[in-house]
Amino acid sequence: MPLSGLIFDVAGIGNAIVDVLCFADEATIVKNELVKGSMTLVDEARADALYKKMGQATECSGGSVANTLAGMASLGSKTAFIGKVKNDQLGSIFIHDLHAVGVHFSTPLMERGPSTASCLVYVTPDAQRTMATYIGACARVSEADIDEQIIEHSAVTYIEGYLWDTPSAKAAIRKAIDLAKKSERKIAFTLSDTFCVDRHRKEFMELIDKDIDILFANEAELKSLYQTQDIESAITELQGICSIAAVTRSERGSVVLTPENREAVATTPVARVVDTTGAGDLYAAGFLFGLTRNWDLKACAALGNSCAGEIIQQLGARSMRPLKDLVA
């Protein structure tokens, strides 16, 4: 029997990653030749070498879009994730943590080939996170993994910029975008990371111009996109192009843009910031939760701010406590 109507609020396609988090000093970032606050792709050998030198760690499922969907599910949304893990212990952990909060996941596992992806996350004393990602099984996501039924029955399809780093993912994304458009669904996108923007600027520009309905970016990513040091001019450039854009500004909350309007939404300061990993992902969770319930954009941004504020009070990007209480 074919499915009918909307089943999911959001379907997400992203890298399926288990995070390995530790506290580290600034010197560790420098010594390991990582870029503070950013994500560096590493091959298996470098990942192994970095892990060997890493201090006491703790493991927690991650992946940008997956974090957003887990957050949305915890808020009460119906979500589905598409991404590639191997049939190994980290893969089991990743799948468990999606299912634990009720995210639908049915992408076939890989039985051989590279391991489930992991991301070494170094949290410095300023609570900033610096990441080294071994992309592993994620690189094998393909067109065949895009379940048409899921995309067609989701109000929004959400994709992450990080996917552009894995060539075979692009055909998958293209297929998902075409399906979403054909079914008259919305497409949301996150710029992911300044260096990721740097690597794929031209394609991201085209994508935002042609296909994206809802864009998530932080100030640094937006400045990178338009190659400017001036956030105001970057915002001005973006405003005409995207029907909805949410620009996150850390402790200063976020700015929501539509072609006609621009609204700054302040956030409540957090008493003790432990780890900023997942702040942007959880912002998107709150925002998309509201948007798929037809909240006004200011309310969407306010819930995004709250979710981001919640996740930075713990280690790791998957909330250890249900988020439902944040929905006022």
Q: Which of 22, 35, 231, 273 binds its own copies (CB under 8 A)?
A: 22
Smaller CB distance to its own copies: residue 23 or 295? 23
Give the residues across from 122 on adjacent strands: 22, 130
Amino acid of residue 276: T
Map tokens 């503070």 to a residue.
Answer: 36
Q: What is the Cα–Cα distance from 171 to 146, expressed in whole angstroms? A: 10
Q: Which of 167, 320, 324, 328 binds its own copies (CB under 8 A)?
A: 320
321 contributes a contact to its own copies by CB under 8 A: yes
Could you tell me which of 235, 257, 231 has the C-alpha nearest to residue 244? 257
Could you tell me which of 89, 104, 77 has the C-alpha nearest to residue 327? 77
Smaller CB distance to its own copies: residue 284 or 300? 284
Could you tell me which of 123, 107, 120, 104 has the C-alpha nearest to residue 24? 123
Residues 47-86, interacting with its own copies (CB under 8 A): 51-52, 54-60, 70, 74
**Window 175-214: contact mask with its own copies (x via CB under 8 A):** ----------------------------------------
Evaluate whether 275 touches 247 at the Cβ level (below 8 Å): no
Cβ neighbours of residue 242 under 8 Å, at least 6 residues apart? 208, 212, 213, 214, 215, 257
Smaller CB distance to its own copies: residue 62 or 161? 62
Give the residues across from 58 on adjacent strands: 21
SS3 214: strand
Closest contact distance (angstroms) between CB of 94 and its own copies is 11
Closest contact distance (angstroms) between CB of 67 and its own copies is 11
Return the number of other C-beta atoms located less than 10 Å from residue 9's C-beta. Answer: 23
- Tell me the torsion sign for CA atoms 129, 255, 222, 178: positive
Smaller CB distance to its own copies: residue 41 or 57? 57
Question: Among the residues of 148-200, which ranges form H helices?
Answer: 148-152, 167-182, 194-199
Q: Which of 64, 68, 79, 115 binds its own copies (CB under 8 A)?
A: 115
226 contributes a contact to its own copies by CB under 8 A: no
Closest contact distance (angstroms) between CB of 4 and its own copies is 30
Segment near its own copies (CB under 8 A), from 234-242, 247-255, 276-284, 315-323?
315-323
7 contributes a contact to its own copies by CB under 8 A: no
Closest contact distance (angstroms) between CB of 65 and its own copies is 17
Smaller CB distance to its own copies: residue 79 or 157? 79
- What is the contact surface with its own copies in residues (CB under 8 A)? 22-23, 51-52, 54-60, 70, 74, 88-90, 93, 96-97, 99-101, 115, 315-316, 318-321
